């Protein structure tokens, strides 16, 4: 009994911060993947979204926001950043508001060099799309919308 208690205490002492960060990152990746952004309807001016379509879009943006918040506070989350960028590309293509650029802005602001180097993994058109959306969001944040 004492041995089990000591093992539990030692495990919780040494593993808690690292394990908590690992589970936060894992959970964020799983939520992003569960949002199924690829299956969202592409929105145009003529598109009429059903309530289910709007909920799916809201779920995707909420998952993206949560993933960005996790990636911004944790270090060494390259897999999570890759998932965020993949989801953002799809959302930028499917949602004309370009809101995904605003959502991922904290990652860009945290480490521009690393963020831009991650974009090199993408096709050139997707890389330009993300970079443009993030830079537009940064400009709007700095000087406003007008």
What pLDDT score was predicted for residue 8?
45
The answer on pLDDT for 114 being more than 90 is: no
What pLDDT score was predicted for residue 105?
94
Tell me how long the chain is.
146
What pLDDT score was predicted for residue 85?
92
Answer yes or no: pTM beyond 0.85: no
What pLDDT score was predicted for residue 129?
94
The answer on pLDDT for 79 being more than 90 is: no
Which residue carries 């952004």 as its tokens?
A: 37
What pLDDT score was predicted for residue 15?
47
Average pLDDT over residues 118-130: 93
């Amino acid at each position: 009994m004492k041995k089990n208690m000591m093992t539990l205490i030692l495990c919780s002492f040494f593993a808690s911060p690292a394990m908590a960060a690992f589970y936060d990152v894992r959970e964020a990746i799983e939520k992003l993947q569960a949002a199924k952004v690829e299956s969202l309807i592409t929105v145009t001016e003529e598109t009429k979204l059903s309530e289910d379509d709007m909920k799916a879009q809201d779920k995707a943006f909420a998952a993206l926001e949560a993933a960005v918040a996790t990636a911004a506070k944790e270090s060494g989350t390259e897999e999570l950043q890759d998932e965020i960028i993949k989801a953002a590309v799809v959302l930028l293509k499917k949602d004309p508001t370009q809101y995904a650029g605003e959502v991922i802005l904290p990652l860009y602001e945290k480490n521009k060099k690393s963020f831009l180097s991650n974009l090199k993994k993408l096709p050139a058109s997707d890389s330009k799309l993300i970079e443009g959306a993030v830079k537009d969001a940064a400009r709007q944040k700095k000087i406003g919308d007008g």
